[in-house]
Amino acid sequence: MATIIAVTNQKGGVGKTTTVVNLGAALAEKGQRVLLVDLDPQGSLSSAFGVDVDETTPTMYALFVDPALDPHDAIVFVRERVGLIPADIHLAAVELELVNKPGREYVLKEILAPLKREFDYILIDCGPNLGLLTVNALSAADEVIVPLVCEYLALRGLGTLFENIAHVRRTLNRRLYVRGILPVMYDVRSSHPRQILEETRTLFGDFVFPIVVRRSIRFAEAAVIGAPILEYAPHHPGAQAYRDLAEVIINGQQRRSKENKENSS
């Protein structure tokens, strides 16, 4: 049964798509079956793998508005053990189309339900907002990963994000769990990111992953050719950071599964 992880931050340009692409690749590299869900109308995740969406391509928008569609038909396998449900700008209309729908916060959960037994992990790339699409992601998810650029304004926004996650946990999804904050685009040449990282660890403690993804042009170069950095520059520190993150995710999931079995026995 898949673990569903929403990768979210209401701030744009903080490495959400980069994290989904490379964490997905790292999990697949370790033998896991991975489904990537593009829940951003900008379609950045789809573009990252060179998936061209046209009028004949089933997308997340089609799955949201037509419950009769089989979600299996929307999956594009972009790598061995890595599937993708693409998105495009039409997805932006979903919030208006669902506004009067009963249970509108759970539509994504219903879409993903028949896919959970076929994958080990489902990673959701959320858009840079806290609207209905993101609420759907949080309602469907088991865990949340929050990429954080080590800058003052980005750190300030974490409070609002955590308040929204807590609200979803109270009202829609009691099992929702914050797996961690992932420092990304870390610039070792400046003292400001180091100060922000130290403050983040002081404020959020164990919620901050012991992994830092450094800023590098290699990520942008990999995106240009539609490949994860694990393929483009497999020995780069950025590739290793996402391998380390995948290891933390897998080990943590195994530990939680064991605890659940012990608690139920």
Q: What is the pLDDT of residue 258?
A: 44
Which fold is adopted by the domain 3-264? Answer: Rossmann fold (3.40.50)
Q: How confident is the model at residue 265 (pLDDT cuts 50, 70, 90)?
A: very low
pTM of the model: 0.93
pLDDT tens digits along 52-62: 887 777 899 99
Q: What is the pLDDT of residue 253?
A: 59
- Give the three-class secondary structure for 102: coil
Distances, alpha carbon 232 to alpha carbons 21, 79, 92, 146, in Å? 12, 14, 32, 24
What distance in Å separates the CA atoms of residue 23 and residue 17, rounded to the nearest whole number? Answer: 10
Please indicate whether residue 245 or residue 96 has the higher confidence score (pLDDT): 245
Average pLDDT over residues 41-47: 93
pLDDT tens digits along 218-235: 999 999 999 999 999 999
Least confident of 131-145, 186-200, 250-264: 250-264
Q: How do the domains of the chain map onto residue ranges?
A: 3-264
Element (H, E) at 9: none
What distance in Å separates the CA atoms of residue 143 and residue 121, rounded to the nearest whole number? Answer: 11
Distances, alpha carbon 250 to alpha carbons 30, 59, 67, 146, 253, in Å? 9, 29, 32, 17, 5
Q: How many CA atoms lie within 13 A of 182 on its CB side?
A: 31
Q: Average pLDDT, whole number, for the chain? A: 92
Q: How confident is the model at residue 43 (pLDDT cuts 50, 70, 90)?
A: very high
| Residue in the block written with tokens 């109308």 | 41
Burial 126-155 (b: 16+ CB within 10 A, else e): bbeebebbbbbbbbbbbbbbbbbbbbeebb
